[in-house]
Every structure is written in C-alpha cells, then in structure tokens.
A and B are shown apart, each in its own frame.
Chain A
Amino acid sequence: MTKPRPSRLTIAAIVAAPLALLAGFAWAGGWIGSPRVGGKTIADALEFNAGRQAGYRRAHAKGLCFTGQFEASGKAARLSAAPQLAPGRYAVTGRFSTGGGNPFATDGRNVFHAMALQLAGPDGQIWRMAMDHVPIFPVATPQAFVALQHATRPDPATGKPDPTAMKAYLASHPETRAYQDYIAAAPLPDSFANGTYYSINAFRFVDSAGTSHAVRWAFEPEAPFAALDKATLASLPTDYLFDELQSRLAKESLRWRMIVTVAAPGDETDNATIAWPAARPRIDAGTLTIVRAEPEESGACRDITFDPTILPDGVALSDDPLLAARSAAYAASFRRRAIEAPGPSAAGKALPGGAR
C-alpha cells in the first residue's frame, strides 16, 4: 500500500475546490458580501412596524374571503391572450382586507382598503391580483418600503409614528409625499363594496401575435360611492367594514367592472408612485360579481398568497421593481404564517362560523 505522497499543491487544490464552491454558494445566498433586501428583510420590516402577529399575513392581516365570478367581455382580448380575458365566465376566489400588519386593528383607520382576486382559467392558468383603493403606492422600491416601515412604526406611548423619524424619511423620499397628500385629501369609501381597486403596478398584456402593451387596471364598483367621515373614524365599530360587506352580500351580489388603461409612449411603467394621465384609453374587460363572503377559517382565501406576479399566459410583468419585491415579501410572509399555523379569522366575528 505504498503510494507516492501527494504534493502539497495537490492537497491544496483538493481542499480549495469544495471551499470555492462553498464560498460561491454563500455569496449566492447573500450570507457573505453586501447586505441585500430580500423577502425576509421586508417581512422583518413589517413585523418591526406592526409587531409579530403569529399565524397572520404580515401585511393586510385583517381580511374576509369571498367567492364569485368574472365574466370577460372579450374587449381586452385583442391586447392579451390571457384565457381569462376571452369571452366567458371564470371562477373567482378573493379577499377583502384593510392595510396594516395587525389583524385585530379597528376598521376606522385612514388606510388602504384592498381587494385581492384569483381568476381561475382553463389548464391550471391562474391570475392573481392584489389591489388597493388608492391608485398610487407610497414608495417605488423595496428599499424605500423597508425604510417607510421603520419610519412609520407607531410609538407605543403615543400610538403615532415618531415625527423626527418621519421627517428624516420624507427628506430622502419625496415620492411618498404624493401618496400622503392623496390619502389625506381623498374621500375614504364607507364600504368595501363601493371602492375602486387599482392594480398599483403596471403590467404588460401580450397579445396572440406576441406584442406587449403596457397597462394598468382598476375594478370600478357598480355601487354608488359614499365616504366615511374622517373626523369620526375612531368611533366606528371595530369590524364596521367587514360587517357592512356581509350585510350587503346577504341582500344582493356586488359588481365591479374591470377597466384596463393602456399606457401612451413615455408613461412610466416602473414607478408605482406616479399615476398615468387621465386621458389614456380605457377598455371594459369584463364584470366581476361577488356572490358571497366567508370568514377566513372556512373560506378558500386564507391559504392563498395573492402574489401579483402569478399571471396567466398573455399577462407579463412590467419593469416595476415593486412586483418582484411584492412576490418575495408575500412568499416570506406565507412561509412564516404557514408554519405558525394559521390564526382564526380576525375579522367578521359576527359571521356564521366565525370563531373568536
């Protein structure tokens, strides 16, 4: 068993090969090198802001499931080959929610009202959307989103964000002012039923010839608009919006029209803080009908991640950096809440089957 002893160079090379692979792996995973904003970073920032609420979504924690259908008019089919835009009816599972990471927060807050949808197409083609009642977003990048969560953390003593932190944030993030001005001035819908819900980000519709069209969309309600009195928000019952929706649905179905807005050349597709001019062409892509609501325990929406990058053929991502960030953050939130075991429905305790 006498073999020539391997040279030091051979030994060094044998040790170096796996070490080099390991170093590359550590770099790819972000454990070495400059720090990265990942889905985890965003979920951490949301937990920093709202506290960790085990078993709930890290954002839009308070919600209610619903089911219904989407009836496509076919008018948007020339812009997109999405099966859900071809004339026909498609099953919808969705969720109404209010902004923020606290599932037990009161509805009387000047925050996002949100509608999330899943439109089921043939052959497993799924289209998910997560939309807010405000057409613009406070930030344009994941880095700014993380900074915003840190700056707006409510001080436990006052219940309000630290004014100095907010001032410092706004000094370096003027884009958030447009959102603040909007949400301060815009009337707040007095129901989930009469809000318009916007896609927030731009997307691309891809037609059957393979041509891309930059679009945004909004779901415009049939129900007439009425606003909450912002001066008396604090006196609203805790589950006002969720209870009100349930009582409406007990009487009638609710409808929205999906309006697709087509960008003109030069419209920014990579910045969710800027709305497109009002004169853009509008296409009535179809009608959403919501038939019934269910609390999260028994409804189908609780275990769905309404990741807006889950798209069917014929719809593609734009260059908006928030899209990948939303996808990564929602995935991180789902990873966490799923293993924590989903919490009972925080909203709709008056609903049948709604446990407390």
Chain B
Amino acid sequence: MPHRFPLPIRLLHWTMAALIIAMLFIGVAMVSTAGPAYTALLALHRPLGIAILLLAGIRLALRIGTRAPALPDDLPRIQQRAARVSHVLLYLAMIGLPIIGWAMLSAGSYPVRLGAGLVLPPILPPDALVFGGLRQLHALVAFAFFALILGHLTVALIHGFVRRDGVLATMGFARSASTEPAAPGDGDGRGDAVDSTDAPAPGDVEGAPPP
C-alpha cells in the first residue's frame, strides 16, 4: 500500500485546487456584477471550466489506475465511509459542474466560445426550460462543491494538525518525516522510496513528531 498519492495526482490535486477555487470565485463574482468585469470574467469562466473538465478526466483515470494510500486503521468506520463518499462527491462535482455548464449553455442557445477561433459544439438541443433547470442546477452544484471543499479543507487540517495521522501528508511533497505507516515490501514503485524507508513502523504513529 503506498503511503502517498502518486506524484501526478498530487500535482493535479494542487493545480486543480487553485483552478477550482478561482473558478468558484469567478462564478459568483460574475453573476454579482453588471460592470465591465462581467464580460471579462465570463470570457475566463468558459475556458477555465473546460480546462478543469479535461484535468478532472485525466485525474479520474489516474485515480482509478493507481493505488491510493489507506486511511489510518484507527479512524472510525463511519469517518472512513464519510471520507470515501465525500471524495466520490468531489470527483462528481469537478466533472459534473463543467458538463452541466456546457449542457446549460447548449440548451440556452449560447455559443460555448473558449477563445479566438474556438467554439465548442452544443451537447444538447436548444430548450429554454432545460436551460432554466440546468442553470439552477449549475448554481446549486457549485455551492455544494464549495461547501464540500470547505469541509475537505477543515478535515485535512484536523488530520494534519490535530490527529497528526499522516493523511494530510498523502497529498504533500515533503521529502521525509512522513508519519504515514508504510507497509513492508511496498515496492509498487509509485511511491517515493525515500519516504518508504523513513516512515515509522505501524504503532509508532501516535508518538511521531509532526512533519
């Protein structure tokens, strides 16, 4: 069992974290204003959304094709389950929200213009009522996504600084002092060899110093 996510997933996680938070802020900001920022933010919102969709597709493929570190054994079963469900929801949101946006613009007869010379084809036929419903869904999913991200951040910080159980470090880049227990003979080559050797044995976790 690896003790960290593979490097491409970690890089994607932090890149997409920045893009998605920027995107959620752009989304609510553009709807709030009729000033010149409106058209500028709207022009940014579409290509950024499609970029997030592409990155999320790559990330999902990597996530399915690689092994994820296990959660600590002492984490209550209900919390393990909550973690799994929340991660499925996060993936659903990062893939679903751009698709809802694209579908909504298609149903609303809006061209999905990404930039000069690049207009995406519609993925739904024009239908005002469908546009209206998808527009509400787009906002609803965006707010739910933001709430999930806030929860994800809070729980990650609790893992990192209250429980100090190495879960936060599974997404980190620290070269050593990982507090994640490494399974002996974990030679799948995806993890970082330095961390595997430096990681304390199971049982030492509780007294391990913070990274």
| Interface flag for B67 (CB, 8 Å) | no
Given contacts A123-B117, A310-B110, contact A39 B38 (CB under 8 A): yes
| Interface flag for A6 (CB, 8 Å) | yes
| Interface flag for A22 (CB, 8 Å) | yes
Give complex CA distance A305, B42 in Å. 15
Say whether chain A's binding surface is mostly helix, strand, loop, or mixed.
helix
Q: Hey, what's the 0/1 contact readout for B26-68 against A, CB within 8 Å counting as 1?
A: 1011011111111100100000000000000000000000000
Whole-angstrom distance between the Cβ of B4 and the nearest chain A Cβ? 22
Among B21, B121, B129, B149, chain A packs the most CB atoms within 10 A around the CB of B129
Which of B6-14, B77-85, B152-160, B193-201 interfaces with chain A?
Answer: B152-160
Given contacts A25-B24, A124-B121, A313-B116, contact A342 B35 (CB under 8 A): no
- B side interface size, CB within 8 A: 49
Select one of B33, B42, B150 contacting A18, CB under 8 A: B150
Contact A126 B111 (CB under 8 A): yes
Return chain B residues, CB-CB under 8 Å to A24.
25
Give complex CA distance A21, B110 in Å. 32
Whole-angstrom distance between the Cβ of A213 and the nearest chain B Cβ? 17
Contact A342 B129 (CB under 8 A): yes
Select one of A14, A305, A324, A338 contacting B158, CB under 8 A: A14
Given contacts A18-B153, A29-B28, A38-B32, contact A339 B135 (CB under 8 A): yes
Select one of B28, B34, B158 contacting A41, CB under 8 A: B34
Contact A42 B39 (CB under 8 A): no
| Interface flag for B88 (CB, 8 Å) | no
- Residues in A215-233 with C-beta less than 8 Å from chain B: none
Given contacts A310-B110, A313-B116, contact A17 B33 (CB under 8 A): no
Return chain B residues, CB-CB under 8 Å to A328.
33-34, 38
| Interface flag for B18 (CB, 8 Å) | no
Contact B108 A334 (CB under 8 A): yes
Give complex CA distance A304, B109 in Å. 6
Given contacts A1-B74, A38-B33, A335-B135, contact A25 B28 (CB under 8 A): yes
Q: Hey, what's the 0/1 contact readout for A22-51 against B, CB within 8 Å counting as 1?
A: 101100111000001111111000000000
Return chain B residues, CB-CB under 8 Å to A38.
31-34
- A side interface size, CB within 8 A: 53
Closest B residue, CB atoms, query A19: B150
Give complex CA distance A28, B29 in Å. 5
| Interface flag for B164 (CB, 8 Å) | yes
Return chain B residues, CB-CB under 8 Å to A337.
128, 132
Contact A310 B131 (CB under 8 A): no
Closest B residue, CB atoms, query A14: B157
Q: Hey, what's the 0/1 contact readout for B98-130 against A, CB within 8 Å counting as 1?
A: 000000000011110100110111000011110
Give complex CA distance A313, B151 in Å. 42
Return chain B residues, CB-CB under 8 Å to A124.
111, 113, 119-121
| Interface flag for B162 (CB, 8 Å) | yes
Given contacts A126-B111, A339-B133, contact A29 B164 (CB under 8 A): no
Given contacts A10-B161, A29-B32, contact A310 B128 (CB under 8 A): no
Whole-angstrom distance between the Cβ of B73 and the nearest chain A Cβ? 12
Contact A303 B33 (CB under 8 A): no
Give complex CA distance A3, B165 in Å. 10
Interface residues of A (CB under 8 A from B): 1-3, 6, 10-11, 13-14, 17-18, 21-22, 24-25, 28-30, 36-42, 123-126, 142, 302-305, 309-310, 313, 317, 319, 321, 323-325, 327-329, 334-335, 337-342
A sample of 20 inter-chain contacts (CB < 8 A) reads A1-B206, A3-B164, A11-B162, A13-B161, A14-B162, A21-B153, A25-B24, A30-B29, A124-B121, A142-B35, A304-B109, A304-B126, A310-B110, A321-B35, A323-B39, A327-B42, A328-B38, A338-B135, A339-B132, A339-B133
Interface residues of B (CB under 8 A from A): 21, 24-26, 28-29, 31-39, 42, 74, 108-111, 113, 116-117, 119-121, 126-129, 131-133, 135-136, 146, 149-151, 153-154, 157-158, 161-164, 206
10 A-B pairs closest in CB distance? A339-B132, A338-B132, A30-B32, A124-B119, A29-B28, A328-B34, A303-B128, A325-B34, A338-B128, A324-B38
